[in-house]
Amino acid sequence: MHNEFPVSNTSGTRTGHEGAYAPETANLPIELREAVDVALRECFDKVYCSDELLGNRLTQVRGPLDSLSKRHGLLLEDAIAHAFAAAGDRYEVQTQVALMVSREAISLVESNKLDNLDDLNLPVGGTHGKRVVIDILVFDHETGDLHVVSVKRGGGAQGGQAARNARKDLTAAGLMLRNMMLRKGLPVLAVKKVLIDWYGRSGIVARKTVTRETVDAYFGLLISNQVEAMSAYMKSGIAARMEPRLQAALGKTNIAVEAEEPLMLASSNADIANEMTVEAPGPRPSLADCLSVLPLRRQGRQMRSVEA
């Protein structure tokens, strides 16, 4: 069973040493606020192995910074997904959707121009191919569009083979998903594949790319405000936690960083193999119902349903 988490429209009350919420983060949903807090704790509430060149104090400054950008990229996905879910019943949202892209689909993408791939449907199944994880999958009940969304933080260039593979993976996944949705009874009229390159500097070439300046207009939905509020909240948390470390590195104060108990990462050992069959006519299934045939990932972030 895939994990589900709700989206709250309230921001809650802030407690502790951080004081009142800044105006730009006052309406940030509790779930996003808690996700940022967890990321900050994982980065800061640990002792990093001292680097011989830098020394312990500078190591404790550098250590959190090495992982904060990556964690921010994951939080971008969560914030974008929450923005869709908060829009009401129009959208169904799933994150971290993993599927096996067949060799046939990859071959089609490699051997054809992108314009020739529209409206092609390929079945999902088999154990041979490449496992692809879709960051966000959104079904729009109003338009019938299935949005296959890849999210990149875009703070720096990601070029070369990695960029080309990202485009192929996203396109091939889209070719397969529409067929699966239709066979399960979800009336998908079109599959729209889009790369959200938030800061616009990933260097990835995609058929359709939007940035933080154009994402709202593309989807016709207010997304950027919530994402920027999450980033502002994270930035304020970094500043508050980094200040004493910087002072300690400059010799102005002593900082005692206590080791935290190791974080236990949940993993799933389930290996579910389901064959797709054409179901009898009945009530329209949900997006989650359609995706239930996909196997859970053995480890890492699991597919989740984002609900309002």
**Per-residue pLDDT reduced to its tens digit, 17-57:** 343 456 567 788 999 999 999 999 999 988 889 989 989 88
Answer with the residue of higher pLDDT: 297 or 104.
Answer: 104
Distance (Å, rounded) from C-alpha 90 to C-alpha 188?
14
- How many CB atoms within 10 Å of residue 183? 17
DSSP letter assigned to residue 1: -
Q: Give the pLDDT score at 20.
A: 46
Q: Give the pLDDT score at 236.
A: 93
Task: Please tell me whether residue 220 adopts helix, strand or coil conformation.
Answer: coil
Taking the domains of the chain in order of start, what are their residue ranges? Answer: 3-307
Tracing tokens 């054809």 back to the chain, one arrives at: 112
pTM of the model: 0.75
Lowest-pLDDT choice from 2-11, 22-31, 37-46, 143-152: 2-11
The length of the chain in residues reads 308
Q: Give the pLDDT score at 298.
A: 61
Structure tokens at 179: 């067929």
Task: Please tell me whether residue 102 adopts helix, strand or coil conformation.
Answer: strand
Distance (Å, rounded) from C-alpha 152 to C-alpha 97?
16
Structure tokens at 92: 């169904």
Helical residues (DSSP H) of the chain, grouped into ranges: 30-44, 55-85, 103-111, 160-184, 215-219, 224-249, 287-291
**Per-residue pLDDT reduced to its tens digit, 154-179:** 877 665 666 656 667 777 888 888 88
Q: Does the CA dihedral 12-16-20-23 come out positive or negative?
A: negative
Distance (Å, rounded) from C-alpha 99 to C-alpha 150?
14
Per-residue pLDDT band at 181 (split at 50, 70, 90) = confident
For 148-191, what is the HEC assignment? EEEEECCCCCCCHHHHHHHHHHHHHHHHHHHHHHHHHCCCCCEE
Per-residue pLDDT at 102 exceeds 50: yes
